Structure 1
Amino acid sequence: MPKVKTHSRAKKTFTVTGSGAIKRPKAYKSHLLTKKSNKRKRSLRGSSLVAEANLNLVKRMLVLR
């Protein structure tokens, strides 16, 4: 059976924490920033955890079992 390749973008986007949770960056921080409030842009700076509904999809992209 051949090796399973990881999804190239997923490997740059997601990080696995020590406890096994998967962190992701927040969306909507790339362009059209002039109309967004400073409070909204500040809250988009950090990262959050991948939702339970998407966890299996992300694990499959990262080839985590």
Structure 2
Amino acid sequence: MPKLKTKSGSKKRFKRTSNGLIKKKHSCKNHLLTKKSKKRKRQLRKFSILKHSDFKKVNKQF
């Protein structure tokens, strides 16, 4: 059987860590930023680890 292609959308949105976990960027950081506090915007900069329930879905696409 041939290898499956990686979904190009997930290739752009997710990265795999050295432990095998998947990290993603936070949402709510694109527009309407004036009403959000500095603290909230600063915390949204960081990457977050994907939850276990979503991990199963996204892991198939890598």
Counterpart CA distance in 2 for 1:47 and 1:3 is 29
Structure 2: gaps (5+ residues): none
TM-score by length of 2: 0.89
Counting aligned pairs with the same residue, the percent is 47
Residue 12 of structure 1 aligns with an amino acid whose one-letter code is K
Q: Which runs of structure 2 are paired with 1:20-39 in the superposition (5 Å)?
A: 20-39=20-39
Alpha-carbon displacement from aligned partner over 1:10-65 (angstroms, at most 9, x marks no partner): 11111111111111111110111111111110110000100001011111122xxx
Counterpart CA distance in 1 for 2:3 and 2:17 is 24
1:3 Cα deviation (Å)?
3.6
Q: Which runs of structure 2 are paired with 1:1-65 in the superposition (5 Å)?
A: 1-62=1-62
The RMSD of aligned alpha carbons is: 1.1
Secondary structure of the residue aligned to 2:23 is strand
1:2 Cα deviation (Å)?
4.4
Give every structure 1 segment of 4 or more consecutive aligned residues whose post-TM-superposition deviation is greater than 4 Å. Answer: none
Structure 1: gaps (5+ residues): none
Aligned length: 62
